[in-house]
């Protein structure tokens, strides 16, 4: 059974969702703390929180939102967006993040990413692997690279990474289904990896497809906010897990 990790993306302190990473195609969904508390009430234990302002600016901006959610809920928060320095990492952990996702820094400063991994451990440092057309994208998805996403993930698993969040940008926010075949290929190459699927989930049927592909955790955002997956369905799924 695949567990849903609800997502909250932040711009200007507000909960938003983008379509295919396009900041000009955003929609606001209210107060982040209210959403986080609703997810906790539905039995969720983990939250995926992304500072979209931070991702664009290359440093953490919305850490107060992280702090507020961490203070008022018991959710285990994995945080990403703008974590590009030791200072950013300390701010994230000090503000209540249990885990931090390194995406752009893993591409551009692998020595720093590996130092964080050695210092904090694979249970607290997650690899972020965001892909467009099979190639890694960075800096809030504004920059593309020629790095193959599967090669990139395999390289980091060989260096101690055990958790990876992989988002197919073309699917993200579309509600048209996740990149199941991409995830199958990743797991074939990295069989011991805790792969967290992200992007495109639009229904509980999509969750079943991910489960059949061997994915145990998946991030859902827009599907929840648009009512394609209800909090009641999440609650029922959590009771089964």
pLDDT for 229 beyond 70: yes
pLDDT for 61 beyond 60: yes
Domain range enclosing 207: 3-240
Q: What is the pLDDT of residue 139?
A: 62
pLDDT for 156 beyond 90: yes
113-119: long-range pairs with CB below 8 Å, 24+ = 113/156, 114/159, 114/160, 116/89, 117/159, 117/160, 117/161, 118/160
Number of structural domains in the chain = 1
The pLDDT of 216-225, averaged and rounded, is 95
The residue that leads in pLDDT, 1 or 48, is: 48
Q: What is the pLDDT of residue 22?
A: 73
The pLDDT of 196-211, averaged and rounded, is 95
Angle, helices 180-189 vs 204-212, to 10°: value is 30
Sign of the dihedral defined by the CA atoms of residues 216, 97, 111, 132, in that order:
positive
Could you tell me the pTM of the whole model? 0.93
Say which CATH number the domain at 70 has.
3.20.20.70
The DSSP call for residue 2 is: P
Q: Is residue 9 annotated as a catalytic residue, yes or no?
A: yes
Distance of CA 198 to the CA centre of its chain: 7
Percent of the chain surpassing pLDDT 90:
78
Q: What is the pLDDT of residue 141?
A: 57
The pLDDT of 73-78, averaged and rounded, is 98
For residues 186 and 152, the answer to whether their CB atoms sit within 8 Å is no
Strand partners, 195: 164
d(CA 43, CA 38): 9
pLDDT for 223 beyond 80: yes
Which of 47-51, 132-136, 165-169 is predicted most confidently? 47-51
d(CA 9, CA 79): 10
The pLDDT of 93-108, averaged and rounded, is 95
Sign of the dihedral defined by the CA atoms of residues 47, 51, 55, 60, in that order:
negative
21 falls in which pLDDT band (50, 70, 90)?
Answer: low
pLDDT for 153 beyond 80: yes
Q: Is residue 86 annotated as a catalytic residue, yes or no?
A: no
The residue annotated as part of the active site, out of 53, 78, 130, 168, is 130
């Amino acid at each position: 059974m695949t567990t849903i990790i609800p997502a909250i993306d932040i711009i200007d302190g507000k909960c938003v969702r983008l379509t295919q990473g396009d900041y000009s195609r955003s929609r606001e969904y209210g107060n982040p703390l209210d959403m986080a508390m609703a997810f906790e009430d539905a039995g969720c234990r983990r939250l995926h929180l992304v500072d979209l302002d931070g991702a664009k600016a290359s440093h953490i901006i919305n850490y107060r939102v992280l702090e507020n959610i961490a203070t008022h809920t018991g959710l285990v928060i994995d945080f990403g967006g703008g974590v590009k320095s030791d200072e950013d990492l300390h701010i994230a952990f000090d503000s209540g993040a249990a885990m931090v996702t390194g995406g752009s820094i893993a591409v551009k400063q692998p020595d720093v990413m590996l130092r964080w991994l050695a210092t904090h451990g694979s249970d607290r440092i997650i690899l972020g692997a965001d892909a467009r057309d099979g190639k890694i994208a960075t800096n809030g998805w504004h920059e593309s690279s020629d790095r193959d996403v599967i090669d990139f993930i395999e390289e980091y698993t060989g260096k101690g990474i055990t958790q990876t969040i992989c988002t197919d940008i073309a699917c993200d926010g579309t509600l048209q289904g996740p990149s199941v075949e991409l995830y199958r290929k990743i797991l074939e190459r990295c069989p011991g990896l805790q792969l967290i699927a992200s992007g495109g989930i639009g229904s509980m049927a999509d969750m079943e497809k991910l489960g059949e592909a061997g994915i145990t955790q998946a991030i859902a955002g827009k599907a929840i906010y648009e009512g394609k997956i209800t909090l009641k369905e999440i609650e029922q799924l959590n009771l089964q897990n």
